[in-house]
Chains A and B, each alone.
Chain A
Amino acid sequence: MLGPVLVCIFVLVIAPLLWGLRISLTDSRMIGLGYRKGFTLENFQTILSDPDTWNAVWVTIVFSGGTVIGSVLLGIAAALVLDRDFPGRGIVRVLVILPWAVPHVVAALVWQWMYNPDFGILNYGLLLLPWVSATPKWLSDPQFALLAIIIVNVWKTYPFAALLLLAGIQTISDDLYEASAIDGAGPARRFLDITLPGLKRVLAIVVLLLLIWSFGNFVFIFLMTQGGPAGATNALVVHIYFETFRFFRAGSAFAMGALLLAMSIVLTSIYIIMLRGQDND
């Protein structure tokens, strides 16, 4: 029963990955049009000496890191709120989760519209604040573009962090809180001494998953900025895409793919080791 499925997975997943690695070691230019040199490290030499590659790696790291920080902070806040018992909690829960439920393309377009520098609601809102006099041009400003996209990604991913962290918080025994309250700890101390340590594992899993997914996030950047302006949001995924379909440099695209693969394998391995440690069946 499992056999055919594993064969499917091999043919559909593992084989393409390996084949991609193989192509990265050739001088293939146009995808699917073959190559002359059968084995060469040229692609890797080219991409590693190209500042654009390093820019893409840097953008990927900032994008993923920024997403994780924003998502986890908002996620913890949301989890703490949802852990409370108050009237209307069910509704708040649904509203908090809402961004997660929206298709990526829809989120990209709605935010693009809200970011619109001339007619966008966001800049209008900012101008209402007494201390704001000038507003950024968001997606077309190299200084703000990456931040703008991180904000969208945080908005889309934090509900996931919140739900997972909430599940984590609810596994912490109430006895611990009561014991520490009797010992004289205030709310802040209780959070630092009991909640955070209790969440360590879940938090690690959330961080890893968010990192892995952000590495692969294509839609937001592709639709909102196309990697621009001036490469400010040119993350690896987008860079690879354009390298293939705009510049037709398949060899170096696959070489960068190998780079991305290496980064993902490291994170994925850590993730799986953590998950396996949790349930040994």
Chain B
Amino acid sequence: MTEVRNTPIFENVVPRISRAAGKLAIAATAVFLCSIGVFPFYWMFVTSIRPSTEIFEFPPRVLPSADSVFSPYLTLFEETDLAQWLLNSTGVSAATAFFACLFGAMAAYALSRFRFSGRETSQVVLLMTQMFPAILLALPMFVFFSRLGLLNSLFGLSLAYLAFLIPVAAVLLKAFFDAIPVELEEASLIDGASRIGTLFRITLPLSLPGLASTFLFCFIISWDEFLFARMFIRQPDNWTVSLGLASFSGEFVTPWDQVMAAATIITLPVAVIFLALQRYLVRGLTSGGVKG
């Protein structure tokens, strides 16, 4: 207590400056990252509500125009098949996600609960199949499907998606099943439930969050998919949103306001789901079960 501190001012100045500089650097980085994250979205939306006369102007106006219009959105539904595409995508994505979860859950449950020879190998196969570039699958499948008459069909497209989404779902769900202690199922068996009863009363209710997340994740991937859709689906009324949106850019003068309006509509639902899922996705990613 009696010890006298000499010149604390000088001792503290240097760390304080470097700490302030550190904080500034962190803040600057945060601002930079946020702006590159947000700006394209901002620009997408601002373009979509800009009167078409103002779009091809240079320099472009950074702020939304004073007389913003929502007509591109109406035009999309009136003059293009966007409504149909949304319907197609919703159907394909929902069906794909449902069956991916169903089959994925079966595989995942077996891998999580039973010890059998070939278990390790099966897991490696499941991981491997998610890693190949999609085109390697798409080409041969294109040939098969054309022979089977499955081209141009949303059912065929969904089937193709299942090829790479079942393994994804299986690996994700396995992590969820692993997190449910086996003792819960054993306790239920001793308490008097059958295997099936245990599945419905204990295992399923507990894995519901996992199943929901996996379903949504598969839904997003199907919604986003482009390559298979582009190869398999030629008729415009069977297009998915990805195809519909891409079809705009081939034309001579791209109607950027409509493109951006469509882009906004397509992005909104999946972006919301995605952000809701993101914390759980990191867990799935570290266990190697998520395709980016």
Which A residues have a C-beta under 8 Å from some C-beta of B?
Answer: 1-2, 4-6, 8-9, 12-17, 19-20, 23, 31-32, 74, 77-78, 80-81, 84, 86, 92, 94-114, 118-121, 124, 127, 155, 157, 159-160, 163-164, 166-167, 186-187, 209, 212-213, 215-216, 218-219, 222-223, 237, 240-241, 244-245, 250, 253-254, 257, 260-261, 264, 267-268, 271-272, 275-276, 279, 281
**CB nearest neighbor in B for A118:** B58
Task: In the A-B complex, list the 9 residue pairs whose CB atoms are closest, starting with the nearest.
Answer: A216-B133, A12-B163, A16-B140, A101-B274, A2-B110, A5-B107, A268-B131, A1-B110, A95-B34
Tell me whether A164 and B286 are in contact (CB under 8 A). yes
Task: Determine which residue in B36, B126, B146, B241 has the highest number of CB atoms from chain A within 10 A of its CB, and name it.
Answer: B36
Least Cβ distance of A253 to chain B in Å?
7
Stretch at the interface among B2-10, B73-81, B207-215, B259-267: B259-267
Partner of B128, one of A97, A213, A272: A272
Q: Are B33 and A9 in contact (CB under 8 A)?
A: no
Q: How far is the CA of A67 from the CA of B249 in the complex (A)?
A: 25
A81 pairs with B30, CB closer than 8 A: yes
| Measured CA separation A104–B147 after assembly (Å) | 30
- Interface residue from A94, A110, A237, A272 paired with B43 (Cβ < 8 Å): A110
Cα A163 to Cα B111 in complex, Å, equals 27
In residues 134-152 of chain B, which contact A (Cβ within 8 Å)? 134-137, 139-144, 146-147
A4 to B105, CA, bound (A): 12
Chain B residue numbers with a CB within 8 Å of A167 are 282, 286
A110 B44 Cβ-Cβ under 8 A: yes
Q: Is A109 a contact of B60 with CB atoms below 8 Å? A: no
Contact A92 B136 (CB under 8 A): no
- Interchain CB contact (< 8 A) of A12 among B128, B162, B285: B162
Complex Cα gap A92–B27 (Å): 11
B140 touches A17 (CB 8 A): yes
- Interface size of B in residues (CB-CB distance below 8 Å): 92
* A9 adjacent to B167 (CB under 8 Å): yes
**11 pairs, CB–CB < 8 Å, chain A vs chain B:** A5-B104, A5-B106, A6-B122, A6-B125, A9-B166, A32-B146, A106-B245, A222-B226, A237-B135, A250-B139, A268-B132
Residues of A within 8 A of B146 (CB): 31-32
Q: Are A212 and B34 in contact (CB under 8 A)?
A: no
C-alpha spacing A15/B144, complex, angstroms: 11
**Cβ contacts under 8 Å, B178 to chain A:** 281
Can you add 10 more A-B contacts, CB < 8 Å, to A99-B37, A101-B274, A271-B131?
Answer: A6-B125, A13-B132, A17-B132, A32-B147, A98-B38, A101-B278, A103-B266, A114-B40, A187-B18, A264-B131
Q: Give Cα distance in the complex from A232 to B121, angstroms.
A: 41
- CB–CB A9/B129 < 8 A: yes
Provide the bound-state CA to CA distance between A166 and B126, in Å: 26
A163, B282: Cβ atoms under 8 Å?
yes
A160 to B151, alpha carbons, bound, how many Å? 34
A253's nearest neighbour on chain B, judged by CB, is B139
How far, in angstroms, from A114 to B266 measured CA to CA in the complex? 19
Which of chain A's residues have a CB closer than 8 A to the CB of B111? Answer: 2
Complex Cα distance A223/B244, Å? 13
Contact B263 A261 (CB under 8 A): no
> B193 to chain A: which residues have CB within 8 Å?
none
A12, A96, A124, A213: which contacts B59 (Cβ < 8 A)? Answer: A124
Q: Which of A13, A74, A163 has the most CB of B within 10 A?
A: A13
Interface residue from A119, A219, A279 paired with B227 (Cβ < 8 Å): A219
Closest chain B residue, CB of each to CB of A74: B33
Q: How far is the CB of B89 from chain A (nearest CB, A)?
A: 10
Which residues B36-57 have CB closer than 8 A to chain A?
A: 36-38, 40-41, 43-44, 47, 55-57
Known contacts A223-B249, A275-B288: A101-B139 contact under CB 8 Å: no
- Inter-chain contact B58/A103, CB cutoff 8 Å: no
